Amino acid sequence: MVEKWLEREVASGLMALVALRLDGAPAADAITKTLDVWLVALSKGSKREEHVDAPRIRKAFETLFATCERWPAPAQLLREMPAPELPLQISKQKRTDAQIQTGNAALDQLTAKLKRRANPDAALKSDEQIEDSKKQTLAALEELASWGTQQTNMEKN
């Protein structure tokens, strides 16, 4: 017994071929027998799967529509069918806890190294050291400002 999807695909293709009015086409009253013969030919020797073979059959018929000048035999359709597309079989490997910890440690080391390269002084200082640097800078600026004021007052006198 032929699967319904296969019968639909072949019937659709044969109807389109009939519409082309090719030389050697079967008579209108013989088209159902023609369908039966094509289904036997397509079913012979291999198990067809809809998700893989339906697009291949459609593409083969499209090629026949574009290239045939006479009514084709089922063997011609089989020759025109593109190779099945094989799904990529990449399996995701499960990482162990040790691998995860090692990987995270390596990422932390890389991140620290990148920070040091981007700004060597800032990457090596802690938050407290940075705050102390800010306070020292502000104090130095205030001292400079007061020195400038003293200089200005001395010049006036």
Residue 118: pLDDT over 80 = no
Domain boundaries, the chain: 4-80, 119-157
- Map residue 131 onto helix, strand or coil: helix
CA end-to-end span of the chain, whole Å? Answer: 117
Task: Look over the chain and give the mean of its residue pLDDT values, rounded to a whole number.
Answer: 85
CA gap 15, 72 in Å, rounded: 13
Please answer whether residues 84 and 92 qualify as being in contact, where contact means their C-beta atoms are separated by less than 8 angstroms. no
Residue 140, Cβ density class (10 Å: 0-12 exposed, 13-18 middle, ≥19 buried): exposed
Place of tokens 């999807």: 5
pLDDT surpassing 70 at residue 154? no
pLDDT value for 145:
78
What percent of the chain is modeled with pLDDT above 90? 42
Q: Is residue 123 pLDDT above 70, yes or no?
A: no
Is the pLDDT at 29 greater than 60? The verdict is yes
Question: What pLDDT does residue 69 have?
Answer: 94
Higher local confidence (pLDDT), 143 or 40? 40
- Using only C-alpha atoms, the chain has a radius of gyration, in whole angstroms, of 40
Give the pLDDT score at 152: 66
- Type of residue found at 88: L
Which amino acid, 27?
A: A
What is the Cβ-side half-sphere exposure of residue 3, based on CA atoms within 13 angstroms? 14
What is the number of residues in the chain? 157
Q: Is the pLDDT of residue 124 over 80?
A: no
Lowest-confidence pick of 27-41, 86-100, 121-135: 121-135
Can you say how many angstroms the Cα of residue 48 is from the centroid of all Cα atoms in its chain? 27
Residue 139 CB contacts under 8 Å (≥ 6 apart), including other chains: none
Which position has the token pair 């293709």? 13
pLDDT (mean) for 118-125: 62
Q: What is the pLDDT of residues 36-88, one digit of tens each?
A: 999 999 888 778 889 999 999 999 999 999 999 999 999 999 999 999 877 76
- What is the CA 104 to chain-centroid distance, rounded? 27
